[in-house]
A and B are shown apart, each in its own frame.
Chain A
Amino acid sequence: MIPEPRPPAPPPIATFEHAAKWYGQVIGLVDATVQIGPGVTGLLGPNGAGKSTFLKLLTGQLQPSQGTVRLLGADPFATTSVHARLGFLPEQDAFYEDMTGRAFVRFLAGLQGCAERADEALQRVGLTEAAGRKIRTYSKGMRQRVKLAQAIAHDPQVLVLDEPLTGMDPVARRQMIDLMRDFERRGATVVVSSHILHEVEAMTDRVILLYQGRVRAVGTREEIRGLLDKHPHQIRVQTSRARDVARALLDLPGVVGVRVDDGSVHVDTTDPEAVYDRLPRFVLEEGLPVDGLEAADVGLDAIFDYLVK
């Protein structure tokens, strides 16, 4: 039986080919070669990894020092018309504080040729009631919503969101993620950056990992997780009977090393969940005192250190 030919892969919406950007002596991005297709793509990396530079190159605000960047087939820096199909939510607050939310969105939507869409965009982000208030009176979450409204007012084909969940409460985060998924369902391309791993995991399956200005990995969430799980996590247990606790922990699956240090036990494990599950049992059944418990290296910097070693 002849297998059916696979449908051709959709053409990439954005491509980076050996793109690099540096600011004098400071490196922003080095030799980035990636393709971004329709759907949600997460840009993950610690602070200073080059995420914002990546997004500014993608949105045509910066010109690459080397290599090429293409968005919808055009050079986004030289071709301003391609920006008509682009929505951008910057990381930093970018407001005229004396304007109302409605006037602000209407002004920016007007520059895209669709000022009449402002009210609908404000309704979509749940700001209709507060739209008549001045932006200086808005909370952090409301400011994020206004920024989102100006980005989606013209229903862009490419939506670029720089740290969109910053300052949002859990409910608003969930809603923001739903909105991204809605864009994805309608065939749009969403590129979203974050320095928090679980945020990106919640938003997308496709991840681009950046670290120190370089693209370290491109792949699905599972592939990235697999990379991370190969490396032991470190957990610190504070206890007055460090030697007894260390002896008990050594028997747990996944534990590859234990170190006793001044009233605390440092555990290296590839299965941190097992440690978290069994510790309460030690306390209850064996009477081992545990005064504190913390993951010593869950910071993204530590994770990226693992990846680049």
Chain B
Amino acid sequence: MPIDIASYRRWEGRARPTPFSALAIATTMVRRRMRLRLVRWIVGGFTVVPCVFAMLAFYASLQGEGPIDRSTVDRLGLADVNMLGILNFLFDQMAGFFAMLFAALVAAPLIAEDRRAHALPLYFSRPIGHIEYIVGKAASAAFFLALLLVLPRVCMYLVEVGFSETDGTAMRQMPTFLASCATGAIGVVLVTSIGLGVSSLTERPTYAALTLLGVGVIMAGLSFHLALALGKPSLLALSPYACVQRIGMELMVIPEALRAEMNALSVMPIRAAWTGVSIWTALSLGVLVLRVRRVEVVT
């Protein structure tokens, strides 16, 4: 087909930087991922299944048949403990591990594929700064990770509110709910930044994904052995995210650590502090890596 010059109408408008370019990048990346059937299945497996599992577990706990049965609750003296907080904490430990697997799928390709496809000049010859590019890519990964780390908490909250036999449950549990969502959001930011940092190191998304999985396994092992060495075996500290929390809590020698851990709300300030430090470190490393690598990738 010939190039059509005659039909071309000179544009009278004015090209301008769009204030939402990061959003445009994020939505396009999410759409691309979701367009692939395999990805849709995997995303569904990583989000819908944990949601359903969390809801069922919580519903069972409400009936006294959940992962923490009534006798254990009575033995540990946790009868008055906030059950939503406990479930959120347990969910946290498991979702943290799956978050690394999920990040290998949704975050690992983000920058690696741009480097492989030589797409960076297309971005940086447009009115887009490096921060907008990184934010856009991070937002697309964060969207998927939020499905895993935040959505099930919302579901659990709705289940409790829906099945509660007492009045005012929604408001009473709101602080716990918001705190758990904040915990999930922190996890999203942390895993996203690690994922982007690793993704920027290679041109091959597969290598980035394998590296993410390796990081997850190594840190889980480190966490587990450190906890054993300290004489306080921890369960299910299977992700960097959970690992940082776990190491922090063990090193700070919290009195009655088990009880404190079981109450997600009470350990929230400690979690937030340690997670904040780790986020800062991961973000710094991620940005540093991107800055250093950029010269090479555009060369």
What residues of chain A have their CB less than 8 Å away from a CB belonging to chain B?
23, 56, 59-62, 80-86, 88, 90, 92-99, 103, 107-108, 110-114, 117, 120, 123-130, 145, 150, 154-156, 160, 171-172, 175-176, 178-179, 182, 186
Q: Please name all residues of chain B whose beta carbon is closer than 8 Å to the beta carbon of A84 when the two chains form the complex.
A: 15-17, 126-127
**Interface size class for chain B?**
35 or more
- Is B123 at the interface (CB under 8 A from chain A)? yes
Q: Are B125 and A120 in contact (CB under 8 A)?
A: no
Interface centre among B1, B15, B17 (most CB of A within 10 A): B15
Task: Pick the residue among A96, A103, A107, A113 that contacts B15 (CB under 8 A).
Answer: A113
Q: A123-B4, A175-B3 are in contact. Are A85 and B125 (CB under 8 A)?
A: no
In angstroms, Cα B299 to Cα A97, docked, is 22
Q: Please name all residues of chain B whose beta carbon is closer than 8 Å to the beta carbon of A97 when the two chains form the complex.
A: 117
Q: Are A56 and B127 in contact (CB under 8 A)?
A: no
- Across chains A and B, the number of contacting residue pairs, with CB separation under 8 Å, is 131
Min Cβ gap B151→A in Å is 26
Given contacts A62-B295, A111-B25, 11 further A-B contacts (CB under 8 A): A59-B121, A61-B120, A83-B128, A84-B126, A94-B118, A113-B15, A155-B15, A176-B3, A178-B3, A178-B5, A182-B5
- Is B21 at the interface (CB under 8 A from chain A)? yes
Instruction: Identify the closest chain A residue to B298 (Cβ).
Output: A61
Q: Are A80 and B129 in contact (CB under 8 A)?
A: yes
- Is B163 at the interface (CB under 8 A from chain A)? no
Task: Pick the residue among A99, A112, A130 that contacts B32 (CB under 8 A).
Answer: A99
Q: Are B126 and A83 in contact (CB under 8 A)?
A: yes
B 1-23 binary contact with A (CB < 8 Å = 1; else 0): 11111011111010111100100
Q: A80-B127, A129-B1, A182-B5 are in contact. Are A98 and B32 (CB under 8 A)?
A: yes
Q: Are B1 and A88 in contact (CB under 8 A)?
A: no
What are 21 A-B contacts with C-beta separation under 8 Å?
A56-B299, A80-B126, A80-B127, A81-B127, A84-B16, A84-B127, A86-B125, A88-B125, A90-B121, A94-B122, A95-B117, A96-B119, A107-B24, A110-B18, A111-B123, A114-B11, A120-B9, A124-B5, A126-B2, A130-B1, A156-B15
Q: Are B119 and A94 in contact (CB under 8 A)?
A: yes
Instruction: Identify the closest chain B residue to A175 (Cβ).
Output: B3
What residues of chain B have their CB less than 8 Å away from a CB belonging to chain A?
1-5, 7-11, 13, 15-18, 21, 24-25, 28, 32, 35-36, 113, 117-129, 295, 298-299
Min Cβ gap A16→B in Å is 17
Min Cβ gap B139→A in Å is 15
Q: Please name all residues of chain A whose beta carbon is closer than 8 Å to the beta carbon of B298 when the two chains form the complex.
A: 56, 61-62
Min Cβ gap A173→B in Å is 10
Q: Please name all residues of chain A whose beta carbon is closer than 8 Å to the beta carbon of B118 when the two chains form the complex.
A: 90, 92-94
Instruction: Identify the closest chain B residue to A117 (Cβ).
Output: B11
Q: Are B17 and A96 in contact (CB under 8 A)?
A: no
In angstroms, Cα B25 to Cα A99, docked, is 14
Q: Please name all residues of chain A whose beta carbon is closer than 8 Å to the beta carbon of B18 when the two chains form the complex.
A: 110-113
Q: Are A93 and B127 in contact (CB under 8 A)?
A: no
Interface centre among A59, A80, A114, A117 (most CB of B within 10 A): A80
Q: A61-B298, A84-B16, A111-B21 are in contact. Are A124 and B8 (CB under 8 A)?
A: yes
Q: Are A114 and B13 in contact (CB under 8 A)?
A: yes
Q: Please name all residues of chain A whose beta carbon is closer than 8 Å to the beta carbon of B5 when the two chains form the complex.
A: 124, 178-179, 182
In angstroms, Cα B294 to Cα A60, docked, is 13
Task: Pick the residue among A88, A95, A129, A171 that contacts B121 (CB under 8 A).
Answer: A88
Min Cβ gap B203→A in Å is 13
In angstroms, Cα B142 to Cα A121, docked, is 33
Q: Are A155 and B10 in contact (CB under 8 A)?
A: yes
Min Cβ gap B131→A in Å is 10
Q: Please name all residues of chain B whose beta carbon is closer than 8 Å to the beta carbon of A113 when the two chains form the complex.
A: 15-18
Q: Please name all residues of chain B whose beta carbon is closer than 8 Å to the beta carbon of A175 when the two chains form the complex.
A: 2-3
Min Cβ gap A215→B in Å is 20
Q: Are A80 and B128 in contact (CB under 8 A)?
A: yes
Min Cβ gap A33→B in Å is 23
Task: Pick the residue among B28, B117, B299 that contacts A107 (CB under 8 A).
Answer: B28
Q: Are A124 and B11 in contact (CB under 8 A)?
A: no
Q: Please name all residues of chain B whose beta carbon is closer than 8 Å to the beta carbon of A114 when the two chains form the complex.
A: 11, 13, 15
Q: A84-B16, A93-B117, A94-B121 are in contact. Are A120 and B127 (CB under 8 A)?
A: no
